[in-house]
Amino acid sequence: GVYLTSRGEKTPWRLKLRTPSFNNIQALSALLPGTGVADLPVVLGSFAVVVGDIDR
């Protein structure tokens, strides 16, 4: 998602970008309780997470 704020000037005052990976990784807190260690690669692989997107 994009959050763009202006003060009425020609240039933006504030710009925030959220990538899909950042939003999708938030669901892990609901999915991981009760998941075995052996199943972690399958759960994480199903998200197609780009690590560079998460650490922004």
Q: Rounded to an integer, what distance in angstroms lies between the CA atom of residue 53 and that of residue 56? A: 6
Q: Rounded to an integer, what distance in angstroms lies between the CA atom of residue 46 and that of residue 32? A: 13
Please name which of 28, 22, 29 lies closest in space to residue 46, comparing C-alpha atoms.
28
Percentage of the chain lying above the pLDDT 70 cut = 95
Mean pLDDT across the chain? 83
20 touches 1 (CB < 8 A) = no
Q: Rounded to an integer, what distance in angstroms lies between the CA atom of residue 3 and that of residue 35? A: 34
Q: Above 70 in pLDDT, residue 30?
A: yes
Both tokens of residue 31?
């999915």
Looking at the whole model, is its pTM more than 0.75? no
